[in-house]
Amino acid sequence: MLLTPGPVPVLDEISKAQCKPMITHRSTEFSELYGDLVTRLKYYFGADEAYVLTGSGALGLETLVLNLCEKNDNVICFPNGDFGEKQVQTVQVYANSIANKIEEGKGWDLERTKATIDSSDAKVLAIVYNETSLGVTNHIKEICKYAKSKDMLTIVDGISAWPGTEFNMKNFYVDAFVSGSQKGIASPPGMSLIGLSKDAIERFTTRNSIPSYYCDLRRHKKRFEKDKQTPNTPAISLFWALQKAFDVLDNNGGLNGCVKRHKAAAEHTRKRILGMGLDLIAEKGFESNTVTGFVCPVGISAKDVRNKLLAEYKIQIVGARGKFKDNGLRIAHMGNFDLKDIDFALDKIERIIK
């Protein structure tokens, strides 16, 4: 049983979609496939443009940064975990990062970010929506709205947030957004899903040069506008799977139904964990809909719990990161999960700890 925060279990119907006969990416059939995916992503994200890149979510994040940030730009980042730190490192390759850190387990809101935004001349703000490494969700809507009022572009890593957490680019004042195929949409890993606003599109289309060939969004835009194809060979089989994953999403309540299901599972999981007498990692009010982090009792190794869970019950979860790496655990309620499986895993975790 796989209860990790990505890759997540993939339904048979989604897996089997990869087995369609191979086609060329320079065909009308592929144009129809990719055109459908882009149309759906624009709707799901609330984006003005959307693209699918063959590569993990990290590639998508780097693509957004290198297209929207120039060498001498100051970029505000608000890390509060491992993936926030990786976002900072990505920005540092292409621009100047201004990183304002907070204690791991705590979340970012406008009150905690406002002073940094006010005192900065940054052109871009970058933030992680859901810090996967700990199970903490930042309040990006209020933060991005304020940053936009200061004429900043906003880049959001929503890889483990979407579609299990409420989101719409226009309503959340987000200019560039990335998610991954192996997370809440519950498709096989290997694709990065990108959404862009009009402001973001203007930024990268008016630049003199972009420091990449494969990730140059001008090439993706030009090719899609020509014939709804990709500039380079995509992972066609994964595109079929993603299309089927979107069908599953649509047939199970759409985005609203998905958020509702993830939220209910998260609340149930936290209640069970607190009922065991264990502490949650996330600060109250910043808990995640898709992954819950919690702390083992003093004297009990998180690694030992994971190993026993896998060896005795064939259940796989992951440890927390950062300062919680020795005593923290994470269980995912992400994608097309069954709540009975999560309860079964929690029962076994409780038995092992006792």
In the block, tokens 């995916």 appear at: 37
Single-letter code of the amino acid located at 218: R
User: CA–CA separation, 67 vs 73, rounded Å?
Assistant: 12
User: CA–CA separation, 206 vs 324, rounded Å?
Assistant: 44
For residue 147, report the phi and psi dihedrals to the nearest 5 degrees.
Answer: -60, -40
Question: For 206-264, what is each residue's pLDDT tens digit?
Answer: 999 999 999 999 999 999 999 999 999 999 999 999 999 999 999 999 999 999 999 99
- Domain boundaries, given as residue ranges, for the chain: 12-251, 255-353
Q: Which of 298, 304, 292 is nearest to 346 (CA)?
A: 292
Q: What is the pTM of this model?
A: 0.97
Average pLDDT value for the chain: 98
User: CA–CA separation, 158 vs 176, rounded Å?
Assistant: 10
Mean pLDDT to the nearest integer, 303-316: 98
pLDDT band at 308 (very low <50, low <70, confident <90, very high): very high
pLDDT band at 304 (very low <50, low <70, confident <90, very high): very high
Are 241 and 193 in contact by the 8 Å Cβ rule? The answer is no
Mean pLDDT to the nearest integer, 9-26: 98
Mean pLDDT to the nearest integer, 256-277: 98
Indicate the pairing of strand 153-157 with strand 124-128. parallel
Outline where the chain has alpha helix (H).
Answer: 12-16, 28-45, 57-68, 82-94, 110-118, 140-149, 169-172, 198-205, 217-227, 236-251, 254-275, 302-313, 339-353
Mean pLDDT to the nearest integer, 130-134: 98
**How far is CA 333 from each of CA 82, 189, 224, 243, rounded to the nearest angstrom?**
20, 17, 35, 22
For residue 177, report the phi and psi dihedrals to the nearest 5 degrees.
Answer: -135, 145
User: CA–CA separation, 334 vs 354, rounded Å?
Assistant: 27
Question: For 80-108, what is each residue's pLDDT tens digit?
Answer: 999 999 999 999 999 999 999 999 999 99
Topology adopted by domain 12-251:
Aspartate Aminotransferase; domain 2 (3.40.640)
Q: The domain at 255-353 falls in which architecture? A: Alpha-Beta Complex (3.90)
Residues in CB range of 39: below 8 A, 6 or more apart? none
User: CA–CA separation, 52 vs 230, rounded Å?
Assistant: 9
